[in-house]
Structure 1
Amino acid sequence: MLRVRVLGDLAAWRDDVALDLGPGRQRAVFAVLAMRANQVVSREALIDAVWGDAAPAGADGSLYSYISRLKLVLGRSSQTLTSTRSGYTLGLDPQALDVHEFDALREAAQLAWNRRDTTAARAALDTALALWQGDDALGGVDSPFATLHRQRLAELRLAAREQRAEVMTAAADPQAVPDLRDLVRQHPLRESLAGLLMTALHRLGRDTEAIDVFDSTRRRLVETLGMEPGAALRRIHDDIAATTRARTGAPNKPKAFVGRKRELEVLRRRLAEVRQGHGGCVWIEGPHGIGKSALLAEAFADTEIPVIWADRRTINEVESAGPAVIVADDLNDASEQELLAWHRLSKIAHGEPLLVVGACRPLPRRTEVDRLRAGVGPGGGDVLRLTGLTSEEAAQLAGNRTDQSLVDLAAGNPQFLAELVDPATSTEEVVLRRTSLLSSRTQALLRAAAILADQFDLADAATAMGVPVTDLVGAVEEAAEAGFLTEVGHLFKFHHPAARQALTQNR
Structure 2
Amino acid sequence: MGERLRFEVLGPVTVTSQGRSLPVGGARQRTVLALLLLNSARIVPVDTLVDAVWNDRPPATARTQIAIVIAALRKTFKSQGAAEDIILTAHPGYVLRPDGHSVDVLEFTRLVKTAETAVQQARLPEAAAAYTQALALWRGPAFAGISSALVEDEAARLEGHRLNAYDDATAVQLELGNHHDLVPELVSVVREHPLRERTRHHLMLAQYRSGRRAEAMATFREARTQFIEELGMEPGPDLQGLHDAILRDDPSLAPAPAVPATDASRADTLVVPSELPPDVPGFTGRAPEFALLDTLVASRDRQHGPAIGLITGIAGVGKTGLAVRWSHRAAQHFPDGRLFADLRGYDEHHEPTPAWEAMSRFLRSLGVSSDQIPTQTEDLVALYRSVLAERRVLLVLDNVRSFAQIHPLLPGSGGCAVLVTSREQLEELVTWPQDARVHLGVLPGADAVELLGRIVGEERVDSARADTRRLADLCDRLPLALRIAAARLASKPHWTVRHLVTRLGDERRRLDELSQGAAQVRASFELSYRYLPDDAARLYRRLGLLDAPDFAAWVGGALLDVDVLDAERLMEDLVDAQFLEVVGVDATGRLRYRLQNLMRLYARERAQAEEPEPDQRAARERALRTWLSLAEEAHRREYGGHFSVVHSPAPRRPLDRIHTDELLSSPLEWLEAERLSLVAAVGQAAGLGLDDLAWDLTVSAAVLFETRHYLEDWRECAEVALESARTSGNLRGQAAMLHQLGGIAQAYQRLPEAHARYSEAMELFERAGEPHGLALNLRNLSILERFSGDLDLAMTRLERAGEIFRTVGDVSSEAHALDNMAQIELERGNTELAMKLGVEAVQVMESIDRGSKRGVAQTIHRLGRVHLARSDFPKAEEAFLQVIDLVQAKSDLVGLAYALLGLGEARLGAGDVDAAEATLSEALDVVERIDSPLVDGQINLVLGEARSRQGRLDSARERANAAHAVFLRTGSPRWRAQAEGLLSRLDERPAPGTDASG
Q: TM-score range by the shorter chain?
A: 0.3 to 0.5
Greater fraction of residues in strand: 1
Calculate the TM-score normalised by the size of structure 1.
0.46
Calculate the TM-score normalised by the size of structure 2.
0.24
Greater fraction of residues in helix: 2
